[in-house]
Structure formats: structure tokens, C-alpha cells
Amino acid sequence: MSSVQIYDTTLRDGSQAEGISFSCEDKIKIALSLDKIGFHYIEGGWPGSNPKDLDFFSLIRSHSLKNAKLAAFGSTRKASLAAENDPSILAILDSGVQVATIFGKSWDFHVREALGTTLEGNLAMIRDTVAFLKSKGLEVFYDAEHFFDGCKANLAYALKTIEAAQEGGASTIILCDTNGGSLPLEIKEFVELAAGRLSLPLGIHAHNDGDLAVANSLVAVQAGAVQVHGTVNGYGERCGNANLCSIIPNLTFKCGLETIPRENLAHLTELSRFVSEVANVHPDTRQPYVGMSAFTHKGGVHVSALLKDYRSYEHLPPELVGNRRRVLVSELSGMSNMLYKYKELNLQVDKQSPEGKRVLEEIKNLENQGYQFEGAEGSFELLLKKAYNGYIEPFTLEALRLMIDVKQDGTAYSEAIIKMRVGDRVVHTAAEGNGPVNALDNALRKALESFYPCIRSMRLTDYKVRVLDEKDGTGAMVRVHIETGDGHSSWGTVGVSENIIEASWQALADSLAYGLLKGDNLEQKKDDKEE
Amino acid sequence: MSSVQIYDTTLRDGSQAEGISFSCEDKIKIALSLDKIGFHYIEGGWPGSNPKDLDFFSLIRSHSLKNAKLAAFGSTRKASLAAENDPSILAILDSGVQVATIFGKSWDFHVREALGTTLEGNLAMIRDTVAFLKSKGLEVFYDAEHFFDGCKANLAYALKTIEAAQEGGASTIILCDTNGGSLPLEIKEFVELAAGRLSLPLGIHAHNDGDLAVANSLVAVQAGAVQVHGTVNGYGERCGNANLCSIIPNLTFKCGLETIPRENLAHLTELSRFVSEVANVHPDTRQPYVGMSAFTHKGGVHVSALLKDYRSYEHLPPELVGNRRRVLVSELSGMSNMLYKYKELNLQVDKQSPEGKRVLEEIKNLENQGYQFEGAEGSFELLLKKAYNGYIEPFTLEALRLMIDVKQDGTAYSEAIIKMRVGDRVVHTAAEGNGPVNALDNALRKALESFYPCIRSMRLTDYKVRVLDEKDGTGAMVRVHIETGDGHSSWGTVGVSENIIEASWQALADSLAYGLLKGDNLEQKKDDKEE
């Protein structure tokens, strides 16, 4: 089976994305997870351009990587300096890596305009830089920047530049679609041309400006490339780089090629979400293979077919990439989706019963107000329990007051006062917090912990605010989504209101009520009462 | 020049996306904007499956569409009913459209498992349904569901199903990659096969499960298809449908084909954002062509080259699709980006001056705290003005108090008390609102309007809350981003704090301060004082 090397540039090209800024610790964490899943190369940074990157290369040395080789990025030497005197080239040597990835110009327009040198001068810069780094014992990859645009503008010259890199001693030539505007069949043509001209292995480095980076990478492999450069989740400048989370399963499951070990693909979704968390970027729910919605079904026709055979509307089993199947309850879905959901929750329900119809009615009504039970299984199950009687609420609100003071110097004080009924008792207490929602959370817990000690083990793991109709400005409805865990499992809850405090209250109260409902937590309270 | 018809299914397939639910009015608004930009076909809904869709078809009749023909979607008749007796087929006739798009099964596995009928029975269902609708005067498009998976499983049968549609009198056969898992070169092969077998024009309907929907659509056109089905922004079930906002400019500018009128492409970004607003989905900032980041530059190397020639790092001028170039200020960027920003703001700055260095230092520091000046030009310019002296703040905060009461029945009351200094005067006032941030907004305006009457023309057009480190739960930092307009222009401002009230205060105060700074608004205040 043929194999393709995976070269990750999340830490360098990925950090060029709008809204992304990695600390050195972030980069270490990501590098270790890329190594663990089996990527072949990790580009750690550009030591000659960003001094912070040298810290990364120095810190990473105390960790031993199992699978990946580290690469440092850099440009060809300055026109006016010899490679051995160019500080940015010397910074690569200082970084202590085994692989140097050097980019140079392939497009005659760029040589003249951006670099301000002659075509011959550029060839010498490429040749010298590669040769110097190779002479120092490094493996050198040559990134042919703007290769495809260069081919379209001046084919003969573009080919000369990669020949210069081969002469200098590069071990692999990576053809870059730097502006991301090339089409799959153009990529195919020029990769085949380059392969015919060089004796070296080729790689592909694509950007997504035409929404074609994944396709362009696949086609390049089909045309002979054996190394793919990309980033986790496709993070990168402008529209991003080629998305390795799509390319790897496509190459593995669709093209039958070897990339990372096949069993490690089951950790791909985890890797994707980990990197988005470290990058502090909202995961793209629709992202192929690894997105929250990637195997999520809403249309009633699809769901009723899925109930018969999962292959009906899925291109591959979600488990292969560590993702999971979800079925949504919504107005489009009808009874098939409800039944699927009941089955998932182990509830016995007669779909013709008045309760069944009433719940469906109420869900539609709440969804119209902006509730979304997708990802809020806790609130959804509480709703069902309430509809089917026999459920006693573990606590109810009597009154709630929040006071926030902001002083001239910007310091703020938040206090929550809460009055609640628990069984036949009334608790009235107060707490402060570093913001109003935190104060509310603290007061609620303070009020309930003596009745339900197990609440101490429940931790908020995620708090999200979504302004529902942003154009209504500060008067808009907001939806608060909370994720809570108790060490064994986690659950989502939701609240909606024009008032962020009220919405947060709903989601917080549901999160604890659902935590108590799970397992025997409610029994504990009942026993207390009987004593 | 060859032309390709654009068939939009945002209103039907797009509404299957997780988190999207269109009201009838939403659908009318979107249909009118699709017509205006020049799409050829608009699929309005599935009247036989969703009764709400009949309202849409009835309401849209009072609007006259200039460019687009309306299509209604439906399946082949039930196995047990004649087409003329099948209520879902009759619903299409009731909808009053000119075009019926009928989907049927191409994959033998689906015929047996999902449909539960014989292979021959399915062919008759296809033939009859198409023939019946054609006999009623409709143009019939036939959607060959799972066509590519069907070809892989049983090629002879898949081809028979599209022949049955041709025999029934379909005018176009659309080949569907329903599960979205096919590769570009497979699409090419089977489109060419189908084209060789049929005398009818072909269309392509691709899904994005392999991150290849745009490429698959392009390759299908290159293999002979003349109609492309897709959705605005690629909204749709699971990972979405083929994204028309990428396909149209690719076909127009890269392949030289005629799609919608070329000059209308300058409204593509506007269309994309309008549909995301109506759908109430956050725009994908990285979206090719139309995303906020699509022509946004952050890397210092890129920016310094762009300052010389914009072609350096852009695959096409953003104006062609109605987008714009942006340059970000951040730690990666260095002086080139700052200089670009200064130029954009018409500020004369000596980059070696202590002020220039101090500002860069402060920006880095604030960005570390979570501030993001990308999209917050108002706060950024205020920062610069403050650094360069000569700027007098139009108002300053003395103290701020917020009180929120939530009662047992869920009703809430929010009140803001604010004390501010304006020049040598102190204002102390209060206001209520439907939530705490709205109360704050109201109190701030109440305090300032008598000093600066022009504040009345400034309207909040967007209010966003981003929890910066969601895993810190309710104690996390939040970033508030506000967009404000005065009818002539609009500007963004930002605030960051652990306390959402404090963060909102910062962004609100900046939004008004910046509004006053623009134009002569501050002069107005000065004149008042001199009187």
C-alpha cells in the first residue's frame, strides 16, 4: 500500500489565521497531540521571523516525540547576504531541528516586485540556502511558493526554481498554491509536469481561497505527490490552509493510502476539538468528518431510513473518525426523530398518547422562542420527565436579586441574593462572584449543597452565550448553553431570555436538577427527609 | 461562452441544516434576494412533506420574480398509489410552480431497504411520476438520489433509473452525491458515463461530507453538466450542500463560464451575509470569497508585499465579489501592518517615534488580555487618539450600579444607575431595560443625550458576546463586540472583562465616544460650552 506523509503547519501557517494567537505553552500542547496521533512532520515556527518561536524549539526539546520530526520554517537568504551570514538562516540552525523547510520564489513577478532581485539572483539564493543548511546536516524541504501561479505566468522559470532547489540538495520539493486560487485540474497538470522534471519526491501545500484546498491536495497525491502540508481544522491565513482533518480520512478510507496509523483515525475528532479549544476558536459544527453536525440528521425521511439502515445517509461510520451520530428533534423531523430520541433515552413512550403529542407541541413552541435542544439533552430530558408526571422538582425559585457595581477605576463587584424552596424548607442566601453569572452560580450552589452534597462533584465545564438576534442590539434574546460534568459523564442544558441573568438561571438550574435526576441522587434527598 | 444554470435549494435542503429554521417570511425575503442577483431556479420547498411550504408558494405569488423560476420538490409516487392519487404529488400541482423537481432512488440497496419495493417497481414509479407531472404542463427535473453510490454498487441499474426518468419526459437529470462521500475523479467518470447514455442535459447536486462538494460540482461541469444545485453559504444537512458562493465565482472567474450576470457577482458577499443573518447563523469568517477573513492579511511578510502590489497574496481582487481587503494589527504583524492601518485611518505617524512604539506595545498587551481589534476599528482608533495626546474624552464614568430581580414566575426587572462626568458637569441618572445590558445602554444614552443630541442618530446594529475561555465556566473572561451605525457609516467597538456588565460598558462607551469623534460631533459640544 502506498503511503503519504503528513506535514502539519498548524503552529506556523495556522497561527496566521485571524483570531488565532498561540502561546508557547499552547504550541507545546498541540505539538504533543500531533505527535501522539502519528503525524510525520511538525513545523514548529519561523525562528528567523518570530523570536518567540525560538522559545518553542528550546522548550520542546525536553519532551521526546515518538512519531514526528520537528521542522523549522524560513525563507531563502537575503539577496545581499551569504547564507552563512544571514541571521534568519542561522536562527534555523539555533532551533536545533532535524528538518529545515525553506520557501523561495517561483513566480517571476514576485521575484522582481516583492524580492526586488533578478531572476538569476533568485535561483542562486535558492541553491545556496538549501546547500548551506544541508551542509550543516539538516534535511531540507523546499517550499516552492506560488508555484502554480508561477507556472501559469512563466512555466520555464518556475521549473528552473525547483531544479535549483534540487541542485542545492533538497530532499523533497513542496509545490505551493500560496494564493489558493488554482483549480484541481490545473494542479494535476503542473504536479505531473514537475514530477516529470525532477528526480525528487514532491509535496503539496494548498490554500483554500477557492474552496478547493482539500480537492487540490487529493488530486496532487493522485498525480504523484507523496507529502501533504496542511493544518488541523484548516486554520490559516485568509480562508485557511488545506484541512488535514478532511484530507487524512479521504486518503485513508477513500483512496486506500497509508497516512497515520489507521486505528489512530478514531482520535481525529478529539484532535480537532482539542486544537480548536487551545486556539480558542469555536469549532465549525458543519466541518466534514469531525464537526458536531457531520453525522447529524434532521430531515424526517433521512431519519426513518436511518432507523432501518445507517448506511442510508452516511458516507462512512462516524466511529471511524471518533465522531458520533446524532438525531435532532425539530419541526422538520416529526415522529421518527422523537422515537429515535426516546430510544436513545431508554424511555417507553406510546407515540399516539396525549403526553407524546403534548411534548412534541411544547418542543416546537420552545424552539420558536429560540430554545435549541440540540446539545442540551439535560433540559430536553427534564422536559420529558415533567410531561410524564411522577417527577418532583428538587428545588424551586422564590426570588433572585443581582447587584453589580462598577467603579470609576473599572473595578467591579457582583452579588447575588437568592431565595429558594427545597421540599418544605426555604433557603435564603447570598454570594459574590467575579461577574454576575458567577455570583448567581455561587449562590445557587451555596443554597443547595447542604440538601444535596453530591452537587459539589458537579462542575461547569462550558458556558456559552449566543445573542439570538444580534441586530436587536442590547435588547436581543440570548441563549445560554451550559455543559456540566461530574467526572463520569457530562450533560448540556439551555436557557433563553431577553435577560442574560434569567437565561443563565434557567440553564444553571436545569444543570443541577438534571445532575440530581441522574443516578440515585434524588433518592439521597428523600432519605434525608424521612429520617 | 458556455453557460451554467444556478439552481438554489437554500429554502429546502438548506433548511435541513442543524440550527436553521426559516419562517415563511424568511423564505420570501431570501427568495427575492436570490431572484435579484440572477439565480435561474429557486427550490421553494417540499409541499407534500411540509404543509408550511404551501403557504410559501401561495405568498410568493404576490411578488413577481424577474429572473428565477420557482421549483417545488417532491419524491416519486408511493409504490401503492397511482401518481394522480398520491397526495404528495398533487400538493406539487397545488403549489402553482412551473418546475417540479422529483427525486427517486438510483441505488438498488435503497430501493429494497428504504423503499421496500422491487427494482422494476421503482423504475415504474420514476417513469409514472415524471410523466404525470409533465402531462399537467410542468417542466420536470429528475433528481437521481445517491446516483454515484448507486453506480458503484450496481451501475447497470443506476443508469436504468435515469433512463426511466428520460422516458417519462424529464427535461434535465440531476446526478446527486447524496451522502457526499464521492471523490472528484469518480464524479468525472460517472457524469461522463451518464452523458454518453442520455440525450438530456445533466445537473449536479453535491454534498460536502468529504469536504469536496465545490470541487465535485466544478468537475461535473467540466465533464458536461450544465446545471449546478447548491445553497447559499453551503447550508444543508450534516456538513452541508455545495456552496454556491464559492461555485459561482469559480465558474465565472476561473473557468470563464457564464452563470449569473457578471456585474451581479459584486453583490455576492452581501447575499451571503444577508442569508446568514436571516438564518440567524454566525457567518463563517473564513468562508472563501465572501468571508470576513477571505482577503484579510496578518503575516508581516504578506503585508509588506501587499503594500507593493495587491496581487502578491490575493487570488483575485475582493471587489469582484463585493468583499474587501483588511489588514490586521497583531503580534505577528510588526510595523508593516501598523503602517497600513495608519494609512487607512489617514494618520500621519512616525514609526520610530516613542508614541508609535508605545501604541504597538499597548496593543500587544491588550490582545494578550483577550481584546481583538479586528473588527473593532472604533476602539482601535480611540486608542491611537489617546496615545497621541490632544484628545479630550467626551465623558468619563464615576460610578455604575445594576440591579436585576427575577421573580418566581420568571419575570425579570433590570435597572441601571449611572453617574458620569461630562466636561465640568456631573450627571446622575437611571433607566430600566429588558435585560441588564439594555438597561445600561438606556441609562448611558439618557445621561448623554442632552449634551450630545447627535447620539440619538446612533443605533446599535449588532451586539455579540464571546466567552473567551469557556472551560472556566461562569467565571470566564468575556469579550463584547458592538457594531453601531448612524445611517451613514458603521463602526465596531470592543470590551473585555470577567464581568459581562463591565465588558459591555467598555464597548458601549467606546461606541458613543467614537461616534462623537467622527465628523464634527465633538465640536458641537465645545460650542455648547462656549455659549
pLDDT tens for A9-28 read 999 999 999 878 788 888 99
Angle of helix A155-168 relative to helix A119-135, nearest 10 degrees?
20
Cα B474 to Cα A137, A437, A461, B436, B467: the distances in Å are 52, 6, 9, 17, 9
Nearest of B141, B86, B146, B90 to residue B114 by alpha carbon: B146
**B12/B42 Cα distance (integer angstroms):** 9
Nearest of A258, A272, A264, A201 to residue A230 by alpha carbon: A272
pLDDT value of residue A330: 57
Q: Is B497 helix (H, G, I), strand (E, B) or coil?
A: strand
Nearest CB among B16, B474, B497 relative to A441 is that of B474
Q: What percent of chain A stands above pLDDT 70?
A: 90
Low-confidence winner among A84-88, B99-103, B298-302, B457-461 (lowest mean pLDDT): B298-302
Low-confidence winner among A112-121, A143-152, B409-418, B482-491 (lowest mean pLDDT): B482-491
Q: Which positions in chain B touch A239 (Cβ < 8 Å)?
A: 286-288, 291, 293-294
C-beta separation of B191 from B204 below 8 A = yes
Residue with cell 526539546: A61
Low-confidence winner among A229-233, B227-231, B323-327, B401-405 (lowest mean pLDDT): B323-327
* pLDDT greater than 60 at residue A409: yes
Which of B474, B497, B510, B511 best probes binding to A when mutated, by most A CB atoms within 10 angstroms? Answer: B474
Cα A149 to Cα A166, A187, A226, B248: the distances in Å are 20, 10, 21, 21
CB-based burial of residue A191 (10 Å sphere; 0-12 exposed, 13-18 middle, 19+ buried)?
buried
C-beta separation of A251 from A4 below 8 A = yes
Q: Which positions in chain A touch B497 (Cβ < 8 Å)?
A: 412, 435
A412 and B499 in contact by Cβ < 8 A?
Answer: yes
Nearest of B55, B349, A92, B467 to residue B341 by alpha carbon: B349
A404 and B401 in contact by Cβ < 8 A?
Answer: yes
Q: Which positions in chain B touch A401 (Cβ < 8 Å)?
A: 403-406
pLDDT in tens, B25-71: 889 999 999 999 999 999 999 998 877 788 899 999 999 999 999 99
* pLDDT greater than 50 at residue A525: no
Q: How confident is the model at residue B191 (pLDDT cuts 50, 70, 90)?
A: very high
CB-based burial of residue A324 (10 Å sphere; 0-12 exposed, 13-18 middle, 19+ buried)?
exposed
C-beta separation of A209 from A197 below 8 A = no
- Residues A211-218 have a mean pLDDT of 98
B254 and A291 in contact by Cβ < 8 A?
Answer: no
**Chosen CATH of B458-531 out of 2.130.10.10, 3.40.190.10, 3.40.50.150, 3.30.160.340:** 3.30.160.340
How far away is chain B from the Cα of A350, in angstroms, using its nearest Cα?
A: 23
A16 and B399 in contact by Cβ < 8 A?
Answer: no
B209 and A315 in contact by Cβ < 8 A?
Answer: yes
Q: What is the mean pLDDT of chain B?
A: 88
Q: How confident is the model at residue A528 (pLDDT cuts 50, 70, 90)?
A: very low
A219 and B114 in contact by Cβ < 8 A?
Answer: no
pLDDT value of residue B300: 62
**B127/B368 Cα distance (integer angstroms):** 65
Residue of A nearest to B17 (CA): A298
C-beta separation of A450 from A429 below 8 A = no
Higher confidence at residue A470 or residue B211?
A: B211
C-alpha cell at B240: 452541508
Cα B359 to Cα A304, A327, A348, B350: the distances in Å are 60, 51, 64, 12
Q: How confident is the model at residue B74 (pLDDT cuts 50, 70, 90)?
A: very high
Side chain identity at residue B339, one-letter code:
L
Mode of pairing for the β-strands spanning A202-206 and A172-177:
parallel
pLDDT in tens, B412-425: 999 999 999 999 99
| DSSP E strands, B264-359 | 296-297, 326-327
Residue with cell 458592538: B482
Which of B143, B499, B506, B510 best probes binding to A when mutated, by most A CB atoms within 10 angstroms? Answer: B499
C-alpha cell at A182: 488554482
C-beta separation of B228 from B242 below 8 A = yes
A501 and B280 in contact by Cβ < 8 A?
Answer: no
Angle of helix B354-369 relative to helix B334-344, nearest 10 degrees?
100
B178 and A313 in contact by Cβ < 8 A?
Answer: yes
Q: What is the mean pLDDT of chain A?
A: 88
How far away is chain A from the Cα of B147, in angstroms, using its nearest Cα?
A: 13
pLDDT value of residue A332: 47
pLDDT in tens, A135-148: 999 999 999 999 99
C-alpha cell at B484: 453601531
How far away is chain B from the Cα of A200, in angstroms, using its nearest Cα?
A: 26
Nearest of A221, A208, A292 to residue A6 by alpha carbon: A221
Higher confidence at residue A332 or residue A232?
A: A232
How far away is chain B from the Cα of A343, in angstroms, using its nearest Cα?
A: 20
Chain A to chain B Cβ contacts (< 8 Å): 391
Q: How many Å from the N-terminal Cα to the C-terminal Cα in chain B? A: 69
Q: Is A253 helix (H, G, I), strand (E, B) or coil?
A: helix
Query: DSSP letter at A263?
Result: G
Nearest CB among A312, A407, A462 relative to B470 is that of A462
C-beta separation of A211 from B211 below 8 A = no
B179 and A302 in contact by Cβ < 8 A?
Answer: no
pLDDT value of residue B421: 95
Q: Is B305 helix (H, G, I), strand (E, B) or coil?
A: helix
Residue with cell 431595560: B433
C-beta separation of A119 from A111 below 8 A = yes
Side chain identity at residue B14, one-letter code:
G
Side chain identity at residue A3, one-letter code:
S
Higher confidence at residue A29 or residue A101?
A: A101
Q: How confident is the model at residue A187 (pLDDT cuts 50, 70, 90)?
A: very high
* pLDDT greater than 90 at residue B429: yes
**DSSP β-bridge partners for residue A494:** A481
Q: What is the 3-state secondary structure (H, E, C) of A100-135?
A: EEEEEECCHHHHHHHHCCCHHHHHHHHHHHHHHHHH
B21 and A367 in contact by Cβ < 8 A?
Answer: yes
Same fold for the domain at B395-451 and the one at B458-531?
yes
Any idea which architecture B5-279 has in CATH? Alpha-Beta Barrel (3.20)
B243 Cα distance to chain centroid:
11
B114 and A208 in contact by Cβ < 8 A?
Answer: no
> What's the alpha-carbon Rg for chain B, to the nearest Å?
28
B475 and A433 in contact by Cβ < 8 A?
Answer: yes
pLDDT in tens, B247-258: 999 999 999 999
CA within 13 Å, CB half, B75 = 17
**A500/A521 Cα distance (integer angstroms):** 29
pLDDT value of residue A115: 84
Q: How confident is the model at residue B470 (pLDDT cuts 50, 70, 90)?
A: low
Nearest CB among A21, A277, A406 relative to B501 is that of A406
- Each domain of chain B, given as residue ranges in start order, spans 5-279, 296-369, 395-451, 458-531
ipTM higher than 0.95?
Answer: no
B408 and A399 in contact by Cβ < 8 A?
Answer: yes
Q: Is B191 helix (H, G, I), strand (E, B) or coil?
A: helix
- Residues B435-461 have a mean pLDDT of 91
Q: Which positions in chain A touch B402 (Cβ < 8 Å)?
A: 402-405, 436
Residue of A nearest to B236 (CA): A286
Low-confidence winner among A315-319, A343-347, B209-213 (lowest mean pLDDT): A343-347
Going by C-beta distance under 8 Å and a sequence separation of 6 or more, which residues neighbour residue B309? A109, A113, A114
C-alpha cell at A306: 436511518
Nearest CB among B178, B293, B482 relative to A238 is that of B293
pLDDT in tens, A393-403: 999 999 999 99
**A96/A94 Cα distance (integer angstroms):** 5
| DSSP E strands, A232-345 | 296-297, 326-327
Q: What percent of chain B stands above pLDDT 70?
A: 89
Nearest CB among B18, B210, B474 relative to A328 is that of B18
> What's the alpha-carbon Rg for chain A, to the nearest Å?
29
* pLDDT greater than 80 at residue B307: no
Q: Which positions in chain A touch B305 (Cβ < 8 Å)?
A: 110, 113-114
Q: How confident is the model at residue A49 (pLDDT cuts 50, 70, 90)?
A: confident
B463 and A440 in contact by Cβ < 8 A?
Answer: no
Burial of A206-222, coded b for 16+ CB within 10 Å and e otherwise, reads bbbbbbbbbbbbbbbbb
Neighbours of A124 (CB within 10 A): 16
**DSSP β-bridge partners for residue A73:** A101
**Chosen CATH of A395-451 out of 1.10.3470, 3.30.160, 3.30.1380, 2.60.40:** 3.30.160
Residue of A nearest to B479 (CA): A465
Q: Which positions in chain A touch B296 (Cβ < 8 Å)?
A: 18, 237-238
B290 Cα distance to chain centroid:
8
- Residues A185-211 have a mean pLDDT of 97
How far away is chain A from the Cα of B473, in angstroms, using its nearest Cα?
A: 5
Q: Which positions in chain B touch A317 (Cβ < 8 Å)?
A: none
Q: Is A148 helix (H, G, I), strand (E, B) or coil?
A: helix
Which of A328, A365, A458, A474 best probes binding to B when mutated, by most B CB atoms within 10 angstroms? Answer: A474
C-alpha cell at B145: 438520489
- Residues A56-79 have a mean pLDDT of 95
A55-A60-A62-A66 Cα dihedral, nearest 10 degrees: -170
A212 and B250 in contact by Cβ < 8 A?
Answer: yes
Nearest CB among B181, B464, B482 relative to A316 is that of B181
Q: Which positions in chain B touch A441 (Cβ < 8 Å)?
A: 473-474
Q: How confident is the model at residue A531 (pLDDT cuts 50, 70, 90)?
A: very low
**B531/B521 Cα distance (integer angstroms):** 16
**B458/B235 Cα distance (integer angstroms):** 33
Neighbours of B199 (CB within 10 A): 6
- Residues B274-292 have a mean pLDDT of 87
Nearest CB among B16, B316, B412 relative to A502 is that of B412
Going by C-beta distance under 8 Å and a sequence separation of 6 or more, which residues neighbour residue A476? A467, A468, A469, A470, A498, B463
C-alpha cell at A124: 542562486
B412 and A209 in contact by Cβ < 8 A?
Answer: no
A464 and B459 in contact by Cβ < 8 A?
Answer: no
Instruction: Give the DSSP per-residue string, A330-380.
Output: STTTHHHHHHHHHHHTT----TTSHHHHHHHHHHHHHHHHT---TT-HHHH
A294 and B238 in contact by Cβ < 8 A?
Answer: yes
A210 and B179 in contact by Cβ < 8 A?
Answer: no
Sheet with strand B478-485: strands edge to edge = B459-467, B478-485, B490-497
C-alpha cell at A489: 459523564
Q: Which positions in chain A touch B434 (Cβ < 8 Å)?
A: 475, 498-499
Q: Which positions in chain A touch B471 (Cβ < 8 Å)?
A: 277, 461-462
How far away is chain B from the Cα of A309, in angstroms, using its nearest Cα?
A: 8
Low-confidence winner among B71-85, B95-109, B185-199, B331-345 (lowest mean pLDDT): B331-345
- Residues B220-229 have a mean pLDDT of 97
Nearest CB among A214, A302, A475 relative to B237 is that of A302
Neighbours of B383 (CB within 10 A): 18
How far away is chain B from the Cα of A157, in angstroms, using its nearest Cα?
A: 18
C-alpha cell at A506: 434557567
Going by C-beta distance under 8 Å and a sequence separation of 6 or more, which residues neighbour residue B94? B47, B54, B57
**DSSP β-bridge partners for residue B203:** B174, B227
How far away is chain B from the Cα of A179, in angstroms, using its nearest Cα?
A: 5
**A415/B475 Cα distance (integer angstroms):** 13
Side chain identity at residue A72, one-letter code:
A
Q: What is the 3-state secondary structure (H, E, C) of A368-410?
A: HHCCCCCCCHHHHHHHHHHHCCCCCCCCEEEEEEEEEEEECCC
How far away is chain A from the Cα of B432, in angstroms, using its nearest Cα?
A: 11
